[in-house]
Amino acid sequence: MASSLQPKRKKKRRQNGLPNSLFTRLQLVMALDDFPDQLEDASSSYVDSYDARVLGSCTLAWHLPTDPLSVSNYRRCSVIPGQVPYYVPPLLPCPLPSDSRPNSRIVKPTLASILPLLLTARQVRVDVRQYDFVSERNSLRKFMLNDEDYIISVMRFDNTIFLRRHAAYYSIDRNDKGYRFEEMCTTTSNYLDGDYHQLTEGRIGELRTLILAETDAIKQENGEAIELKSHKNLSGKWMQHDWWSQAYLSGTNTIIHGRQSNNQASEISHLVEYRVSQLSDNQSKIESFQRLHRILQFLRSNVIERRTYLLRRHHDPVAPKKETEYEGGRESYQENEDYKGATLLALLDDELNGWVHHVQYILPEGRAKWWHLGENADKEEEEIEPEEGSPLLTPIGACMCFCLIQSLTGHLCICSWSCLGKYLCWFSSDYEPELPPLPTNEYRDGSEIGEAEDPSPEEETKVRAAEGLAADEGGEKDDD
């Protein structure tokens, strides 16, 4: 049933750098909601046992190669170990560096790469095969925060699952205040203009993780990592939790907040130092790590080796919430006879926001209305939470889709991952490939199976004459 209340939107041809035609060739494997919900530890054990440990570092140039599998190109644009950006406190109040620098906009490659992580791991002799998940930090942050849409490629080699996020943005501006504040507080290098990253291992429950995380600065006195932030103030529970998740995954203990002057936005009036452990509340931390552990378990249970998957979270943030003024959701509606249908272009919206549910949602148990067989049984029986679906007239785009989908035909993702296997073998320092067996002969060489050219008639005549002459000489000797 179409809805005339939705505005017209320009049809997008790509989603996070991937063409829309790709998604028509994918097969749903399983949605996270259908994955059995295991009993999660409600304590802070997941948070406390993460125990991040830095193993190495690299500096990655701002301008990266377009080919995500070009080892030679990524070697040229990286320095291992990285050039350390040491923290230098500025004299306050201090204006930010100029925002009129040329060539400040940096275009990111369409396809991200995990080669910097693998190159760094090889340099410091870390075997990636000993980890359950190998990824950049932002992919795990997306799982923890669960507040944005994302598309992440997933592939498994042996017991290790590799994650690669498809970014929704394509460029950054080095003239932004955050980058200028980082420049003001750190030492600069004349060798390579780029970002400093640290290779960090951790543990989420029983799963070992290896991530590459960008680090803003390092304390000279003790070598600890620092995150640099520049805002007018640290406002809201969500911002605190966002800062905490970013710093905690990389093992950073300190965040230095440069507060902007109320009179001049381009001036830092004073600095505030936060301990990462004091940000956010314990309940939010526990829930984030539980969510992260559940998603990693979901991937580990459904991803088959050497196949390409996409993990996608989709949610329309402007859609109405599930809660309505009707208890249990709207169950009926009155059709408007004067309604004029929407145009075909509006109905072809990628997110299907021009369509709404006009019949009751079919629950997983097979009914449109929840009915528990044991509701008249013993009252001491453990209560079961009723299944709920989308109310009537809810836009289809408002239904969250968090699912794992698998490719059916060759497409962009497969091209991006197809050669990764040989690189993983090459990056493992102690890897010795098994040689194929030597070729064997079907028959033994010998004169009876040898090949030779047929003799000519003249050669046959000479052979016969020689054989006849030899026979005559043999007969004369016998007569003697």
pLDDT, one tens digit per residue, over 62-100 is: 889 988 888 889 999 999 999 999 999 998 888 888 877
- Mean pLDDT, range 254-265, rounded to an integer: 83
Number of domains in the chain: 1
pLDDT above 60 (res 244): yes
Whether residue 437 lies inside any domain: the answer is no
240/259 Cα distance (integer angstroms): 15
Q: Specify the amino acid at residue 453.
A: E
Q: For residue 423, name the pLDDT band (cuts at 50, 70, 90).
A: very low
Whether residue 180 lies inside any domain: the answer is yes
> Whole-angstrom distance between the N-terminal and C-terminal Cα of the chain?
120
Beta bridge partners of 56: 199
What SS3 state is found at 39? coil
Domain housing 97 = 23-314+404-427
CB distance 300 to 207 below 8 Å: yes
Whether residue 166 lies inside any domain: the answer is yes
pLDDT above 60 (res 415): no
Whether residue 120 lies inside any domain: the answer is yes
Closest-CA residue to 134 (of 150, 109, 151, 156): 156
Whether residue 258 lies inside any domain: the answer is yes
Which residues, including other chains, have CB under 8 Å from residue 23's CB and lie 6 or more apart?
15, 405
Residue in the block written with tokens 């990693």 = 296
Which residues, including other chains, have CB under 8 Å from residue 203's CB and lie 6 or more apart?
49, 50, 51, 209
Task: Give 334-380 pLDDT, tens digit per residue.
Answer: 666 666 677 766 666 555 566 776 666 555 555 555 555 554 445 44
Q: Is 280 left (phi over 0), alpha (psi -120 to 50) or beta?
A: left
Whether residue 65 lies inside any domain: the answer is yes
Whether residue 349 lies inside any domain: the answer is no
Question: Tokens representing 370?
Answer: 């929840």
Inter-CA distances, 313 with 3, 402, 426, Å: 24, 4, 33
Question: Tokens representing 82?
Answer: 């990285």
Taking the alpha carbons of 71, 76, 78, 81 in that order, is the dihedral positive or negative?
A: positive
CB distance 355 to 396 below 8 Å: yes
pLDDT above 50 (res 240): yes
CA dihedral 240, 246, 250, 255 (to 10 degrees): -40
Whether residue 372 lies inside any domain: the answer is no
pLDDT above 50 (res 323): no
